[in-house]
Amino acid sequence: MRRRDLLLSLAVTALPLAAPPRARAADGEKKKKAGGVTYIPIETLTGATTRPGGRRGVLTLECGLDIPNAGLRARAESIMPRIRAAYLQTVLIYAAGLPPGAAPNADFLAASLQRETDQVLGGPGARLLLGAILVN
């Protein structure tokens, strides 16, 4: 048997094995990385900052929301782009004003983002959870 025919037959037999992961990915269903039923993860937020020596840097923030109330959780999921925009604006402004070489203030960021959460959702009931804050 020629090598080309052997490779072709191996590729044809391996094709059905590769199909199930694609089918699962095509479902369009996004799975949560972590957390329980009440947890809503938020995509990573980034903001430009200045590093020591004048180079540009990036402040990266990972967070999520814990909302025990099912009605409020459904509302938060429906207006997630608005929540994310409010968070992003806060992170961008904070990162731009961060002095070079300074560590980010997690308490200030948590308080600011919690205030934005309460304002966008129209009241308390959701708790902001910070995951990681990095400056590169």
pTM of the predicted structure, to 2 decimals: 0.74
Give the count of domains, the chain: 1
Give me the pLDDT at residue 24, please.
47
| Domain extent for 118 | 39-135
> Does residue 5 form part of some domain?
no
Segments in the chain below pLDDT 70 = 1, 3-4, 6-34
> Does residue 113 form part of some domain?
yes
Quick: pLDDT tens for 49-74: 999 888 999 999 999 999 999 999 99
∠ Cα 88 89 92 (to 5°): 80
> Does residue 52 form part of some domain?
yes
Q: What is the CATH number of the domain that holds 80?
A: 3.30.479
What does the mean pLDDT of the chain come to? 86
Closest CA to 58 of 86, 112, 95: 95
